[in-house]
Amino acid sequence: MIAPFLHPAVSLSQYLTNLEIAAEHGLRLDLFIQNIIFLALIMTPGIAIYFLKRPMLLHEFPLSIPVLITSGIIVAAVGAKNGAGVHHMLPLVPAVTMATLQIAQLKSQDPSALISREAGALSLPFVVDQSLLMGHAIARSSSEWPKIVELEKLYGVHTWAEMGTTDNANYPSTYYRVVGVLRGGPVHLEVPFLLDLRAAGLGDDAIRDLLQHCKVAEWVLPQAGNPFSQRNGYNGDELFSDGVRHAFHNNYRLISRGTYYDVWGC
């Protein structure tokens, strides 16, 4: 967990400051319930095996299982922050899977007790849910892959270009900004971080300064949507002020048009 903070470009103090800001967003009951349901689903196979097999538990199990459950509830609460969600529960999956396998391998108190098909069936809802999500991701991949290919070519020409944003409908097209980052490109604008800052009531003066003084020479924007017109998903307010949009339109011109992305230069 501490490995990322060993890099000189990663600041632990700034990370903690960001967490402090995000803590002001409050928790949502619906997200907490979703997280608890996810936790219950991934733990169901292990619990079912235990009650059906009645294994002779090793001495560490009576402590480790309650600790795992307690940790899961804590993560579920943290992942209920406005803007978070069930993906915060994913780090628990390996630990729960390992515990389930260990329980399944333990010797049963009753030699005649077998793990029935019903035990496996209890995990079916989780398997179906994740299979549907995976199927949806695979179905979308055919339309998303060309965007990555275009960005690979684009960043090969515009080495120092940075990914900006347009509106909410086209925000998912900015997820592939990592292509430029992996090529060593700079990052002055990180929209998820800005969402937290703006929801906490902070301004966007730093972004306006970037645009007014051309500190970012070139911006890559999704072709559809008006530049920097995205709204904040937390509260529906404008993510960027009129001053940001005015600075952009006063200083930047379209220099390259692609199928999915445009490049604007100062």
Q: Please report, for the chain, how many H helices and E strands are present, in that order.
A: 10, 4
161 pLDDT band, cuts 50/70/90, is very high
Tokens of residue 186, six digits = 């700079």
Q: Rg of the Cα trace of the chain?
A: 24
Whole-angstrom distance, CA of residue 185 vs CA of residue 154: 12
Query: Strands, E, within 189-232: which ranges?
Result: 218-222
Query: Cβ atoms within 10 A of the Cβ of 161, count?
Result: 26
Domain ranges in the chain? 3-122, 140-265
- pLDDT tens-place string over residues 123-146: 566 666 666 666 665 566 667 889
Task: Tell me phi and psi for residue 264, to 5 degrees.
Answer: -115, 130
Interval 97-125 mean pLDDT: 64
Asked if 96 and 65 touch (Cβ cutoff 8 Å), the reply is: no
Asked if 198 and 237 touch (Cβ cutoff 8 Å), the reply is: yes
- pLDDT tens-place string over residues 34-49: 999 999 888 888 877 7
Whole-angstrom distance, CA of residue 2 vs CA of residue 78: 19
Average pLDDT over all residues of the chain: 82
Whole-angstrom distance, CA of residue 89 vs CA of residue 35: 7
Asked if 81 and 22 touch (Cβ cutoff 8 Å), the reply is: yes
Asked if 113 and 68 touch (Cβ cutoff 8 Å), the reply is: no
Give the bridge partners for 262, in sequence order: 221, 257
Whole-angstrom distance, CA of residue 233 vs CA of residue 153: 31
**What's the pLDDT at 212?**
92
- Give the length of the chain: 266
- pLDDT tens-place string over residues 166-189: 999 999 999 999 899 888 888 888
